[in-house]
Amino acid sequence: MDEIFASRDGAVLTLSLNRPLKMNAITRAMYGELLRSLHDAAGDFGIRTVVIRSEGANFTAGNDIHDFMDAPPTGPESEGFQFLQELHNFPKPLIAIVQGNAVGIGTTMLLHCDVVFATQTARFSMPFVSLGLVPEAGSSYLFPMLVGHQRAARIFLTGESFGAEEAREMGLVTIVADDAQEQAMAMAKQISEQPPTAVINTKALLKSRSHEAVSKVMEVEGELFRMALQSDEAMEAFMKFTTRGEKK
């Protein structure tokens, strides 16, 4: 079964993470698939809005930790970083629907979305420091811009999670609703019926203030992130996760 499932309804493309037994943890192959789908969607005149969602009870547990250990990204050309670049530069509206856990990139990718819907079950976390890593996806710039330095520092440095209402209040999520899926699809359709050039230009204008700064930050984050992946601190944290079952 496809771990990234793409479906089309008129001018709306929906990309679903489909690895629920592993909490939709994202592998290199999945990043590659997401990257290709977004790239194609950017150049396809028939697609006007993209929805990112997940199958099962969780949005995603973030990057696959086994991949971090066995096949870590070695440079900016790696699939994960290329996916983030594509997301950052994606010209058309991106709508996300979050339920359950949204860990790591599951939260940071939302900073690149234009409208985020969540159910009450949504729980967000960016435990990069706890894993011996650093923030990615431009989140070290975009998150403090959204919530202020001290709140961002608290969340990054402690690795603590927060719920749907807090996410809405901080502006990471637009709408919290039990029928997030239905509302999100209705909005995607509504936006797709708007004049497309005006939509694309408006999104570009909304992002123009921060776009270049985020590109630069993502480069620096990427270098630090790749270095951190090789560190003893990260290895220790990954081992702790992968050997959990043995201690039960």
Does position 137 bind ligand COA by CB under 6 A? no
Query: Cα-Cα-Cα-Cα dihedral of 95, 35, 32, 108, to 10°?
Result: -50
Residue (34 or 65) nearer to ligand COA, CB: 65
Residue (62 or 222) nearer to ligand COA, CB: 62
Tokens of 246: 């043995």
**First vs last Cα of the chain: how many Å apart?**
31
What part of residues 59-78 is at the interface with ligand COA (CB under 6 A)?
Answer: 61-66
Does position 104 bind ligand COA by CB under 6 A? yes
Residue (90 or 238) nearer to ligand COA, CB: 238
- C-alpha distances in angstroms, 241 versus 52, 66, 86, 236? 27, 10, 29, 9
Tokens 């509302």, located at residue: 183
Q: Within 10 A of 20 (CB to CB), how many other CB atoms are there?
A: 14
Residue (23 or 50) nearer to ligand COA, CB: 23
Does position 229 bind ligand COA by CB under 6 A? no
How many residues touch ligand COA (CB under 6 A)?
A: 16
Whether 108 contacts 139, CB under 8 Å: yes
The residue whose Cβ lies closest to ligand COA is 104
- Amino acid at site 110: L
Closest approach, Cβ 204 to ligand COA, in A, equals 29
Residue numbers of the site for ligand COA (CB under 6 A)? 22-23, 25, 61-66, 101, 103-104, 127-128, 131, 241
